[in-house]
Amino acid sequence: MKRAIALLALVLGVGAATAAAAFLGAAGPSTAGASSHREAPLIADDPSADNTDVYAFVSPDKPDTVTIIANYIPFEDPAGGPNYYRFDPSVLYELHVDNNGDARDDVTYQFRFKTTVGNPDTFLYNTGPVTSPTDPDLNVKQTFTVTRVARGSRTVMVSDRPVPPANIGPRSNPTYDAVQGVVDLAGGRKVFAGPRDDPFFVDLGSIFDLLGLRPFNMAHLIPLATEAGQDGVLNYNTHTIAIQVPKTDLLRSPAANGTVGIYASASRPKISILRGDGTIDRNGPFVQVSRLGNPLVNEVIIPIGKKDLWNASEPRNDSDFLARYTSPEVPGLVNLLYPVLPDAPTTDRADLVAVLLTGIPGVNFTGDRKADLLRLNTAIPPTATPNPLGALAGDFQGFPNGRRLVDDVTDIEVRALACGYGPILAAALGLCDLTPNNTLGDGVDVNENNFLTQFPYVAAPNRGYEHTGHR
């Protein structure tokens, strides 16, 4: 590492300390990452509890409801058998909702899982073609239970419903119903838990190569030929938990509309004991090991030394990390590595505090309490033609007001960090707008698979037979 930093200092013509900051800040110890994939040292070693992405939006086909989606387990190779990826029964997966601006849970949805093995004397995940989650030829099955917690009361919404199987190949899965596993409940409510195509899209290979953006390669201090972006999450799967509920389930009664703050988490029992027979005993209270509200925050805002602490902390304590928002590292690196661009401010970034910690006044402001939550103004109706740049393009139904599957959060946040909010949002909210910073992007603007038009909206999982995870 020291040789790499010294070489970078020589190439950049800067001191070793600056080069070290560029090297460590841009590359990091775990260079595979996405919205929040492998973003912290501890969670990088615990993929089944790694919360990778959170989405929250007014449902486009049912605008009186809100859909919340959280994904776990990054970079699932669809061909990863015979022990295909699955939820961990020892993990408590949760979706949290704050509806009064105090950054404390008012409504929580808890997902728990069970795993059963039909025949332990075979190595096979399935012993024949699988046509449904309850098919007898599916040897390894999972079920899930969802509990709603609100105002001290617990209500089991659904119990022991089957999780869809892995999508293995044409012999194992002659058909794969894209909406299998969706559970319809009373009042238009729906829940889902199972494998899906990873809906995030981002050029990981270039971004973690010293913050490179392929369409802007020639502007980089270490130039390469300009080219189109390449999706680093292309053809990989993830595991999704999702709910769709009436707005009134989330809001303070009797309000029919309002702004809520949302985040997802994963927690593990505090004590884990490895037994000599290959089993594990887990005891004690749950401890949060992963959380996510706004995308990319723990990845590029929080420094390495505090990433695990951030994952374990509660959003209501995010003032402890305020300096990382007001004086973020990324703008300084962009200024250094893209000298042809106008310098973005590196201190006093009240704009980032508004976008990420309090909500934007007039859009999704929830009060002065600073907390990293995905804030959704449920009064803004869905648009028939969503713009992937969301609020930057004047589409205030999109990120950073909630987050839709189509929202290009990488481009949005790169521009925000570089102080290039674009003329529409800048004029509306008085934010900074540097040109050409307001055109920055990684060149990956859409997911490789079409999203569904109905819940759970995320595309069905990629199939292992084609071995697409390596393409």
Determine the pLDDT at residue 254: 73
Give pLDDT, residue 256. 76
Residue among 74, 77, 34, 72 nearest 469 (CA): 77
pLDDT tens digits for range 131-155: 999 999 999 999 999 999 998 899 9
* C-beta separation of 82 from 140 below 8 A: no
Q: Which residues of the chain have pLDDT under 70?
A: 1-36, 469-471
- Cβ(397)–Cβ(196) under 8 Å? no
| pLDDT, position 26 | 35
Q: Where are the domains of the chain?
A: 31-470
Tally helices (H) and strands (E) across the chain: 10, 12
Q: Residues 202-243: pLDDT tens digits? A: 999 999 999 999 999 999 999 999 999 999 999 999 999 999
Cα dihedral 355, 359, 362, 363 sign:
positive
Q: Rounded distance, CA 321 to CA 122, Å? A: 50
